[in-house]
Amino acid sequence: MLRVIATIFVIIIQQLVNANNYYNNATLQKYGKNVCTIEEVFYDGNNDLPTMYREHGLTLDNRQKQTCGHITLSRNECCEGFKQLKGLPGCTIVKSPNNMLETIKLLGANEFARYAMQCGLFDILEIGGPYTLFVPTDEAFAKMDKSLKLALVSRKLTTSELIKYHVVPYRLITHNMTSNTLLETLNDGLHLRFNKHFNQVETINCVKLIRKNRIAKNGVVHLINTVLNPHIYSNRNLVQIINQNTELTIFSKMIETSRMHQSLKETFQTYTVLAPIDNVLRKLPNNQLSRILDDEKLSKEFILKHLLPTTICLSAITEGQIIKTLGDDHSIKFNCDALNSATTQGYCIKSDLKLTFNGILYAVNFDLSNYNEGKTVLQIMNDMGLTEFLQIVNIAGLAQTFDTKNMLTVFAPSNQAIKSIDSTELYCIKTDSGYAKTFVEYHIAKEVVTPKNIYDNKIVETFIPGQYLRLQCVQNTFGVEGQLLNLQHKVGFNGIVHLTNQVLMPSTISVHDIISKNNSFSIFMRAVNLLDILPATSPEFCGNHNTYFIPTNNAFKKLGIDRLIWIFNNPLYMRTILHNHQVERVLSTKLLKKHWQYEIQTKNKTIILSHRGNKLMVNNVEVIEADLMTTNGIVHVVDDLILPQY
The per-residue pLDDT for range 185-232, each reduced to its tens digit, is 999 878 999 999 877 789 999 998 988 889 999 999 999 989 999 988
Burial class (CB in 10 A: 0-12, 13-18, 19+), 150: exposed
Q: Do domains 100-232 and 377-500 have the same CATH topology?
A: yes
Distance of alpha carbon 589 from alpha carbon 637, whole angstroms = 12
In whole angstroms, what is the distance from residue 644 CA to residue 577 CA?
Answer: 6
Q: Quote the pLDDT of residue 340.
A: 61
Burial of 24 (0-12, 13-18, 19+ CB in 10 A): buried
- Beta bridge pairs of residue 214: 221
Q: How confident is the model at residue 532, as a pLDDT?
A: 66
Comparing C-alpha atoms, which of 595, 582, 593 is closest to residue 476?
A: 593
Rounded-to-integer distance, Cα 495 and Cα 514, Å: 37
pLDDT score recorded for residue 437: 95
Residues 6+ positions from 622 with CB-CB distance below 8 Å:
615, 616, 638, 639, 640
100-232 has which CATH code? 2.30.180.10
Q: Among 383, 417, 390, which Cα is nearest to 504's?
A: 417
Alpha carbons 26 and 22: distance in angstroms, whole number: 6
* pLDDT for residue 16: 45
Q: What is the pLDDT of residue 65?
A: 62
What is the rounded distance in angstroms from the CA atom of residue 565 to the CA atom of residue 530?
13
Tell me the per-residue pLDDT of 73-82, one tens digit each, with 9 for 90 and over: 777 778 777 8
Burial of 482 (0-12, 13-18, 19+ CB in 10 A): buried
- Give how far the C-alpha of residue 27 lies from the chain's centroid of Cα atoms, to the nearest Å: 39
Q: What is the pLDDT of residues 413-422, one digit of tens each?
A: 999 999 999 9
State the Cα–Cα distance between residues 169 and 183, nearest whole angstrom.
Answer: 9
Q: What is the pTM of this model?
A: 0.65
Largest CA distance in the chain: 110
**CA 446 – CA 426 distance, rounded (Å):** 25
Mean model confidence pLDDT for the chain: 83
The model's confidence at residue 385, banded by pLDDT at 50, 70 and 90, is very high
Give the pLDDT of residue 90. 83
The domain defined by 238-364 folds into FAS1 domain (2.30.180)
Q: Please count the other Cβ atoms lying within 10 Å of the Cβ belonging to residue 170.
A: 12
| Strand blocks (E) in 104-155 | 131-136
Could you give the strand order of the β-sheet that contains 408-413, starting from the edge strand earlier in sequence? 444-445, 408-413, 495-500, 483-492, 477-480, 468-474, 458-461
Superfamily for 377-500?
Answer: FAS1 domain (2.30.180.10)
400 pLDDT band, cuts 50/70/90, is: confident
- Answer whether the bond into residue 130 is a cis peptide, omega within 30°: yes
What is the pLDDT confidence band of residue 641, given thresholds at 50, 70 and 90?
very high
Per-residue confidence band for 28, with pLDDT thresholds at 50, 70 and 90 = very low
* Domain positions in the chain: 2-94, 100-232, 238-364, 377-500, 511-638
Protein fold of 511-638: FAS1 domain (2.30.180)
